[in-house]
Structure 1
Amino acid sequence: MIRLVIVDDQALVREGLSLILGTQPDLRVVAELPDGAALLDLLAADPAVADVILLDLYLPGADGVRILGQVRSRLPGVSAKVLMLTTVGRAADVQRALAAGADGFVLKDASGAELAAAVRGAHAGVTALSASAAELLWPAPAGTGAADSGARLRLLTGREREVLARLGRGMTNHDIARDLALAERTVKAHVSNLLAKLAVSSRTQAALIARDLS
């Protein structure tokens, strides 16, 4: 069970995220907090209270990146992964959050499935970006689109397409290997091959293309 703490100054957002994520059988919301100060107090009292923290980028008093820096510097006993959340995304915001030690960045326009996948990915140690956040960092080159993605997808073998679909759900190599009954080294080879065929440099970029499989 992955234990979650949600930090957002808007009660409606906190309640909505809690409702969406709380329906997942492997996720449990253990606290909903309105600001960074409350988070620091909670973690100081119990550094192991959460496995993943969903932290709003824009908070009253101090923004989420500053709070994240305080968690990392002042509370070394906290091992929870931190996913940054925001409504309006800019590439600079994503880069700043990741540079500060965030384990992922999710825009609030993400679907419930994307959000849950990001939580699972962060918990597993994979840098988790929702599709819209990833597009901020790696916008599609001019002149490319569905036809281009389709042409690249046709280069993949059936097994590589199966692996790609699972990358799109935020699964780790270990999880993919277990799901497809393969050796983990075989999955790594498939990932390397499909990245080359798709002409991308990261799993997250490949996951964006995976949406064309759905």
Structure 2
Amino acid sequence: MTHSPSQSPDTPRCSWCGTEPIYQEYHDLEWGVPEWDGRALWEKLILDGFQAGLSWITILKKRDNFRAAFEGFDPEQIATWGEPEIDRLLQDKGIIRHRGKIAATITNAQAYLDLGGADAFRDMMWSYVDGAPLNGRYKTLDEVPTSSPLSTQISKDLKKAGFKFCGPTIVYAWMEACGLFNNHVVSCHRHDQV
């Protein structure tokens, strides 16, 4: 990722992305942009599950390794995996080697397919916000919650559908990342753009 000509390290941004270029580029180009591809929504939910207990930059720096290790996050392929694949992934130093999160990815692939795949998952997730991003108008990062009644409801519904590692805080962060919430602070150059 690279900055567009209008973006610089001094561009006003949400403070969570700090000054590290990879984080600023993620903030500027991806975070909060409405994601309409159901498979990409699922991938981002899986990565947010892997983030639990860690910082997002840790996942961001390993994202290409995750994509390679998980066969491009192909749910149909992952849904067929078992212990041999879990054992292989536990040896992969390029990803977060957590048995529970790896096993949950397999379970989540199965749940995703049981819901009907990409279009059904997209439609289900966007139905919670009536097909349009909810616009937070927060002035500071301290005002932004880490969960909400809506993320709690989505978390419950996902768990009922068989998903794992999708608690209210994970779901809230995922909703922000995927643009279901526009939680760029109002002083950020991306707030009005997304």
Q: TM-score, normalised by structure 1?
A: 0.27
Q: Which has the higher contact order (CA 8 A, sep 6+)?
A: 2
- Which structure's CA Rg is the greater one? 1
More strand per residue: 1 or 2? 1
TM-score by length of 2: 0.29
